[in-house]
Amino acid sequence: MTSMKTKAIAETQMGELLPELAIPVTVTLINGGAIATRDYFPGHHDADAARELGSPHIFMNILTTTALVQRFVEQWAGPLAILKDIQLKLGAPNYPGDTMTFSGEVVERDEASSTLVVSLKGKNSMGNHATGKVTVVLPA
């Protein structure tokens, strides 16, 4: 469920956990994300080409992962939150038929600048697909 109200910095706490978000990884999600980001690398579209590269199936690109990270944080923070920085590290690939589940927590909080940092991970059946931190500015 998408938050309709933007969180204020005063409403957040250090160590606050974000609600988990489970995202089914589908061929449509992987293809659509790659096409939307103009990433025509065959490993994101063509299962035969992906297998020739040594992959069991097509796999998600980093720009789609980044968009899903943004969705995860904005769903918690609300529509007026400003994402200032996203730092991601990729791990296990996302293949169709799996589910990636995001979890996160507030690890830094500066009430004076209305800024906080969320540490997060997106995990699938093989391990962490993405780990990183997002810097967010919330209304005062």
Distance CA 129, CA 94 (A): 7
Provide the residue-wise pLDDT of the chain in tens; the chain has 140 residues: 454 688 999 999 999 999 999 999 999 999 999 999 999 999 999 999 999 999 999 999 999 999 999 999 999 999 999 999 999 999 999 999 999 999 999 999 999 999 999 999 999 999 999 999 999 999 87
State the distance between the two ends of the chain, measured CA to CA, in whole angstroms: 24
Classified as helix, coil or strand, 68 is: helix
CATH superfamily, with its number, for domain 9-137 = Hotdog Thioesterase (3.10.129.10)
pTM of the full structure: 0.93
